[in-house]
Structure formats: C-alpha cells, structure tokens
C-alpha cells in the first residue's frame, strides 16, 4: 500500500474497481493493434497477388478481398 493512505480498506476497494477497467482498455487496445496489423498485411498481400492474375478487378472486389483476408489474418492471430 502506498504511504500516506489512512484508510487502506477503502483504498483496496477502489483498487478492485479500477483494475478491471484498466484491463478492459488494455484488451481493446491490443485488439485494435491486431486489427491494424492484419489489415496492413492484407493490403500488402492483395497488392502482391492481384497483379499476377489475368483479369482486372473493380474497387469493390479489391476492398472485399482485402477485408476478408484481413479477417482471416486476425482470426489466425487470435486462435
């Protein structure tokens, strides 16, 4: 317990309430990082694969493929 705290029981109760909120924020932050990394990897993958194929793709097709690939990457990381 930190020095200068007169009511250690109250301080313990407050600490129990604060810690789970911090952990929830940490988990969301980690998930956000995973999603950003997965999307970046999917964009790089799409950029390297699509030019090798023998047809042109619409913007909607590229977006759909990229987002689906990012989702697969994210699920792989979270397994």
Among the listed residues 68, 9, 1, the one whose alpha carbon sits nearest the alpha carbon of residue 38 = 68
pLDDT tens for each residue of 46-55: 999 988 888 8
What pLDDT shows up at residue 6?
74
Asked if residues 46 and 65 have their Cβ atoms less than 8 Å apart, the reply is: yes
pLDDT tens for each residue of 10-62: 777 777 766 565 566 777 889 999 999 999 999 999 999 988 888 889 999 99
CB under 8 Å to 71, separation ≥6 — which residues?
A: 38
What pLDDT shows up at residue 23?
63
pTM beyond 0.85 = no
What is the number of H-type helices and E-type strands within the chain?
2, 0
**pLDDT above 70 (res 76):** yes
């Amino acid at each position: 317990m930190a020095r200068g705290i007169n009511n250690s029981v109250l301080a313990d109760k407050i600490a129990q309430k604060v810690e789970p909120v911090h952990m929830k924020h940490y988990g969301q932050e980690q998930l956000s990082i995973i999603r950003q990394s997965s999307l970046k990897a999917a964009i790089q993958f799409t950029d390297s694969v699509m030019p090798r194929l023998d047809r042109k793709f619409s913007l909607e097709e590229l977006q759909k493929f990229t987002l689906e690939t990012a989702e697969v990457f994210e699920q792989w990381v979270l397994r």
